Amino acid sequence: MAYWQDRGKAPTACVDTFGCQQNVADGQRIMGMLQAMGFTFTDEPARADLVLLNTCAVREHAEKRVYGNLGALTHTKKANGAQVICLCGCMAQQPSVAKKVRESYRHVDLVFGPHALWRFPELLYQVYTRRGRVFSIDDEPGTIAEGLPVVREAGVKAWVSIMYGCNNFCSYCIVPYVRGRERSREAECIVEEVRGLVAEGYKDITLLGQNVNSYGRDLGTGMDFADLLSRIDGEVEGDYLIRFMSSHPKDATPKLFDTMARCPHVARQLHLPFQSGNNRVLEAMNRRYTREKYLELVNYAKDVMPGLVLTSDVIIGFPGETEAEAMDTVSLVKEVGFDALFTFIYSPRPGTAAAAMPDPATRAEKQVWFDRLLDAQNEISARQHAAYVGSTVRVLVDGESGDERWPLSSRTNGGRLVHLLGSRDLIGSFAQARITDSNTWALFGEAVE
């Protein structure tokens, strides 16, 4: 990189990550590789020698934002002709996106998908030495490269990828097409990474995978996800919590819930996406479980883990869904009593099976159904939060809230947000909190001895 030697200063990079926690984890590894190459970091694209957009392909809105940001970067490129612009992540893996970028965003220098993440330094070297555009979006099995450097955010939270890819092919989802088939990391590598994080002071660690419940099937060792949780809990000492996402109901088992119940380091939080409460819609989604099976699972989990905080993902307005079928989803929400939901109106993803399905319901109709879903969940969340008022719970104080009335932000074992009154010296530690108030989205309290 003679160019940087000539300038006599370290190059700067601006990394902007969109989408899920898996993307966040990928972005931290990209930053680790950049740092190892001598880059420092800035949040301002105009000041960066390299701008990288790490993208998501799950929602149409996210793609539109990326294209908008790419368009804006034409101005930074004009101001700094040597600036390198990179597009990576799930969105970049799609051939249609690569074609559009190649033809319409000619200021973009490097495009690569999740499969090629570990080759990023090599690809960037090609850009600098060839001074030409580089595209790496081949549909390959994918490689797990251990030992990549990581730049993590300071604080108490960390993310650990335990597997990559997905084998499920839900009809609405683009992920299997852009992240490939499931590949599990060796358990020893995962345990060592968690041990290192705990030693560094991280106390809230989330294990990541598109479907963590199928962890280990490709390794042939006989170890499943429940076994991995048990091993981490037993082998990594310290005061910390393990969370995980996402968890597919078709692969969730009583063994998993029993393991969660007996492992003190595993948080009493379960994110188990059900997507729809109607069996016909579930079949059209290719989810491979029924409403009845889902209820059986969550009831068992609640029985073995009293006080379990249960969250889920829900799609309203799937192609062909009727009002009555959407209301089956609302009735399931009321029956289960979720603590919180991540809710979406269906967004078609080109290349998926659902994108070709007839979809007669209007956006306005879907919005009405969606509003009913939100009303039902908000009522449940407000009621469940109100039940905490007057109790004292253990929380992990993870930062400042930005609200002078409740200066601290914290989370319960189950992941509930608690805005807290207390000393800033508590940040980074576990504390006892007396809950004094609540609303639909959070609890409020004060730290106690």
Contact 408, 400 (CB under 8 A): yes
Beta bridge partners of 15: 52
Buried/exposed 95-115: b ≥16 CB within 10 Å, e otherwise: eebbeebeeebebbbbbbbbb
88 assigned ligand-binding residue: no
- 3-state DSSP percent of the chain in helix, strand and coil, to 5: 40, 25, 35
263 assigned ligand-binding residue: no
Specify the residue for token string 């959070």: 442
Contact 449, 391 (CB under 8 A): no
Beta bridge partners of 134: 110
Phi then psi for residue 27, to 5 deg, are: -60, -35
Phi then psi for residue 294, to 5 deg, are: -65, -45
Phi then psi for residue 279, to 5 deg, are: -65, -35
- Whole-angstrom distance, CA of residue 52 vs CA of residue 32: 13
Torsional sign, CA 234, 235, 236, 239: positive
Contact 212, 252 (CB under 8 A): no
Please name the amino acid found at residue 281.
V
Q: State the DSSP code for 215.
A: T
User: What is the residue-wise DSSP string for 100-133?
Assistant: HHHHH-TT--EEE-GGGGGGHHHHHHHHHHH-S-
Residues 6+ positions from 22 with CB-CB distance below 8 Å: 159, 161, 208, 209, 210
- Whole-angstrom distance, CA of residue 113 vs CA of residue 60: 18
86 assigned ligand-binding residue: no
Looking only at the bridges linking them, the beta strands covering 134-136 and 12-17 are unpaired
161 C-beta neighbours (distance < 10 Å), count: 19
Counts for the chain of helices (H) and strands (E), in that order: 14, 19
List the binding residues: 20, 56, 90, 166, 170, 173
List the binding residues for [4Fe-4S] cluster: 20, 56, 90, 166, 170, 173
